[in-house]
Amino acid sequence: MFNAPFAIGGTESIATSLSYIGYGDPAGLDGVIRPPDATITTDTPGTGASRLELVSNGATMYRLRVDAKPEIDAGPPGMPTGLTSTAITSTTATLTFVAPSGDGQLGMVSGYEIRLRANDPMTADNFEDSMPVTATVIPTAAGGIQEIDLQGLLPTTNYWVGVSAYDDCHNDSPIAIYALTTSDRVSGEVDACFVATAAYGSVMANDVELLRHFRDSLLQSTVLGELAVESYYTFGPAVAGVVGESELLRATARDALAPIVARVRTLSF
């Protein structure tokens, strides 16, 4: 345990710590802080008293640094406005919106939380349960135009996109929500993640990403696994085309994949 006392006030307060002051029970059995002793190594990087990296800042050496800055925050950010689509294809969509101010009146937001929901209307109540979008949106000054690029969507599918701004103190703005429908697939087009993608509504779904990682990390490292992947690539697109057209089949596919996903979550890879 390291200790770096700092003050919260109207001016910046910086505190550093070079040496640890004690340690807790290895099994977490109590909250007692034990003083330094010979059981804690001091000369092995990455463990014991040297668990934290030694850093230099000019003439100052430390393992822990706390920088407390006063932040004037009159309120949460304003809601993103004018959320609309500028381009929609069978698998992608581009949306734009007007950047809000950082506290409802002044300043710039720190970032945006963007979530996506397929075939089920998004609301403020289910926003947190919706799928996070990893698209990067670099904040601009209030009034500027921001753009979101969505990839890996399914053809002829209803999607709801939610955008919430947050400031330096992680105050959240009201959520702007926009509904869109992707166009029909282009002739000869094959969905990238086949059955799992069709079942979950997007290649960006968390469980789909987990299955893809399992495929790339473990399955393709063995002969039998590689054979299974090749067979899947052969028959998967045709099956996915049927599954993706029916919400009932999507739900059935999700139920079938659920025990596989649960098992994969227990693996380390």
Ranking 30-39, 91-100, 120-129 by mean pLDDT, the lowest is 30-39
Residue 253 confidence (pLDDT): 60
Ranking 14-18, 68-72, 163-167, 233-237 by mean pLDDT, the lowest is 233-237
Residue 60 confidence (pLDDT): 87
pLDDT digit string, tens, across residues 69-109 = 776 666 789 999 999 999 999 889 999 999 998 775 667 89
Q: Which domains does the chain have, with CATH numbers?
A: 1-70 (no CATH), 81-181 (2.60.40.10), 194-265 (no CATH)
Question: What is the chain's mean pLDDT, rounded?
Answer: 78
What is the reported pTM?
A: 0.52
Who wins on pLDDT, 89 or 227?
A: 89
Residue 252 confidence (pLDDT): 65
pLDDT confidence of 257, banded at 50, 70, 90? Answer: low
Residue 233 confidence (pLDDT): 44
Tokens of residue 55, six digits: 């850093």
